[in-house]
Amino acid sequence: MGRAKDYLARLLAWWVTSVHRHASLVMVITLLITGGILSYSFTHFSINVDTSSMLSEKLHCRELEKEFCSAFPKLSGTIVIVLDADTEERAQSARTQLAERLRKETGLFKSVYEPGGDNFLKRTDFST
């Protein structure tokens, strides 16, 4: 056991002195290897962030989704945001502010639907 430790200690000492003696060469080789790895990574790896492509098109739920999207094309590509607040007034205020900010982002959103945001239901008298 002591012999193996001595051999390992001598090997490690040789390695450290060799790296120290040829420090500039070690740095150049390290930079070349790092550059090669980065180049390979950029050209061979990619990330697909489309979550719909993660599941097979042959699954029953995906077939139902296709049928739903063809039946209701306006609902495909829709983002639903749920707001929660302490009071109804705060929720309505947050809804209005969010809708206004999203409407300004015309490059990102085609339209913004704000449920309950129109005055139709407020103006209509349902008591009769």
d(CA 97, CA 85): 14
SS3 state at 85: coil
Domain region containing 86:
73-118
For the chain, how many structural domains are there in total? 2
pLDDT in tens, the chain (128 residues): 688 899 999 999 999 999 999 999 999 999 999 999 999 999 999 888 877 778 888 899 889 988 988 998 887 778 888 989 999 899 989 999 999 999 999 888 888 888 776 655 555 555 55
Q: Identify which of 54, 110, 102, 107 has the alpha carbon closest to the alpha carbon of residue 78.
A: 110
> Is 16 inside any structural domain?
yes
CB 64 within 8 A of CB 56: no
